[in-house]
């Protein structure tokens, strides 16, 4: 138990996990708080999870006094009151990989833990029972930044199994930080070779955990289940093999349905962090007391009408987990020795996040930047070794167009790939990994529009 000096006396601080009543000093007066002590938000502070779910933190010198509460004062978990499933509704499988979307506070520890049994979810969000018949599979409880290509294979296999079991659609609960990378990877797995999923595959997350009053978890999940149960079947050509459903704005009530190949997390904490790149969402779902109103984008309606009839992918293609893709950012700090050191480790592909229209620092017109000439040499050697070098756009929005400036034309003559790309950097990097895993012709595949990653509407 840590001790601090308060009013000249050494006073013990409560340990994390202890439920207390605390009196603290504020700017104007004192305040009382009752809740669970958490690990401190920063050094020299005490953090308390209040009974209403919010957290408060105070410098330890502002803690005037505290007393422990008996264990029988801990809030009890309520009885489950999950509504009965309507057998006439579509069957949807919820696949849990981690993240806050399907989590709630464990008041014994103060931690947010996954609670993903269908009964628990229906008890917490009974409106789900009026949308679909739910079952659930938990394949992990990972932070999304820990997800690797081997996990993409596990997730895609779980989706395929759900369709084999008769599910109309799948909802994947996933952490938000790399959600857009996984959505791209799954899109190529199910639709990269001219096929489509048997039903909607919907990825969903939340920016605010369910223990917070501002949580977006409930509305996002309701909208995701609605799209999986009642949304249009994917055609696989308009970037709709996998979609991402998240808040459309900071306010409640409207969720956006994004193409899994054209979406990116653009803010670290806002509820409307996800945006479509170079275009608009496929649809929006507006929430009201009577249910959801779905508004599909006109371009998506046209794309669905014009789409060819693709066969259903009975099994998804897979990623070779051993493939290594190196990534570099073009700019003043990019040097040839960095690229050479990484390439020497045996990577199978190199991706450069180019500036502007997709440029790299490879020219030395004034004979005062020999670093640029060295970079040109190492890139030429990479191409000569048949190591694919792909340019994506660090501007995020806009295409890679290496026809505009002489620099870009020089890069194309060198054999650098990526001209014409209008995908997100993450979608193209996942595509390179997928193409390498399938032993396809890299130049031909990267320039082809396989499943909506380069559709023209992205240039709006």
Catalytic site residues?
100, 176-177, 265
Q: What backbone torsions phi and psi does residue 198 show, to the nearest 5 degrees?
A: -70, -25
Q: CB 394: neighbour CB atoms within 10 A?
A: 15
Helix, strand, coil shares of the chain as percentages rounded to 5? 30, 25, 45
Check residue 300 and report its DSSP letter: H
DSSP string over 256-269: EEEETTSEEE--SS
CA-angle at 164, arms to 159 and 168, nearest 5°: 70
Q: How far apart are CA 391 and CA 382, in angstroms?
A: 14
Strand order in the sheet with 325-329: 325-329, 349-354, 389-393
Q: Answer positive or negative: Cα dihedral of 350, 354, 358, 363.
A: negative
Total length of the chain? 460
Check residue 459 and report its DSSP letter: G
Do the beta carbons of residue 134 and residue 175 sit within 8 Å?
A: no
Inter-axis angle of helices 370-384 and 336-343, nearest 10: 20
Check residue 377 and report its DSSP letter: H
């Amino acid at each position: 138990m840590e001790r601090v000096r308060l009013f000249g006396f050494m006073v013990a601080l409560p340990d994390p996990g202890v439920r207390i009543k605390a009196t603290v000093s504020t700017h104007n007066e004192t305040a009382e708080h009752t809740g669970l002590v958490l690990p401190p938000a920063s050094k020299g502070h005490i953090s308390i999870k209040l009974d209403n779910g919010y957290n408060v933190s105070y410098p330890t010198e502002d803690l005037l006094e505290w007393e422990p509460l008996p264990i029988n004062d801990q809030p009890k978990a309520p009885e489950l009151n999950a509504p009965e499933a309507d057998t006439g509704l579509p069957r949807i499988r919820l696949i849990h990989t981690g993240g806050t979307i399907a989590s709630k506070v464990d008041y014994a520890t103060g931690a947010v833990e996954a609670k993903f049994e269908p009964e628990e979810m229906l008890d917490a969000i009974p409106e789900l029972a009026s949308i679909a018949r739910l079952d659930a599979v938990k394949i992990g409880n990972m932070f999304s930044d820990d997800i690797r290509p081997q996990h993409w294979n596990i997730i895609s296999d779980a989706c395929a199994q759900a369709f084999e079991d008769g599910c109309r659609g799948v909802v994947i609960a996933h952490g938000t930080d790399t959600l857009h990378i996984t959505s791209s990877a799954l899109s190529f797995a199910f639709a990269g070779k001219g096929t489509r999923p048997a039903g909607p595959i919907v990825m969903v997350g939340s920016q605010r955990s369910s223990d917070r009053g501002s949580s977006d978890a409930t509305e996002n999940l309701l909208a995701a289940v609605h799209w999986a149960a009642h949304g249009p079947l994917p055609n696989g050509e308009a970037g709709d093999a996998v979609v991402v459903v998240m808040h459309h704005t900071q306010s409640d009530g409207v969720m956006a349905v994004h193409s899994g190949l054209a979406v990116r997390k653009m803010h670290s904490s806002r509820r409307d962090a996800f945006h479509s790149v170079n275009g608009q969402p496929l649809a929006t779902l507006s929430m009201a007391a009577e249910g959801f109103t779905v508004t599909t984008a006109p371009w998506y309606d046209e794309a669905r009408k014009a789409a060819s009839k693709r066969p259903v992918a009975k099994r998804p293609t897979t990623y070779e987990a051993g493939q290594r893709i190196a990534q570099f950012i073009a700019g003043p700090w990019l040097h040839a020795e960095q690229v050479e050191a990484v390439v020497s480790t045996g990577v199978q592909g190199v991706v450069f996040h180019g500036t502007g229209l997709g440029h790299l620092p490879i020219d030395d017109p004034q004979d005062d930047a020999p670093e640029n000439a060295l970079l040109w040499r190492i890139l030429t050697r990479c191409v000569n070794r048949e190591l694919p070098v792909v340019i994506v756009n660090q501007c995020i929005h806009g295409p890679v167009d290496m026809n505009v400036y002489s620099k870009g034309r020089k890069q194309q003559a060198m054999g650098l790939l990526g001209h014409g790309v209008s995908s997100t950097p993450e979608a193209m990097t996942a595509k390179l990994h997928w193409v390498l895993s399938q032993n396809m012709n890299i130049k031909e595949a990267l320039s082809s529009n396989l499943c909506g990653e380069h559709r023209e509407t992205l240039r709006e």
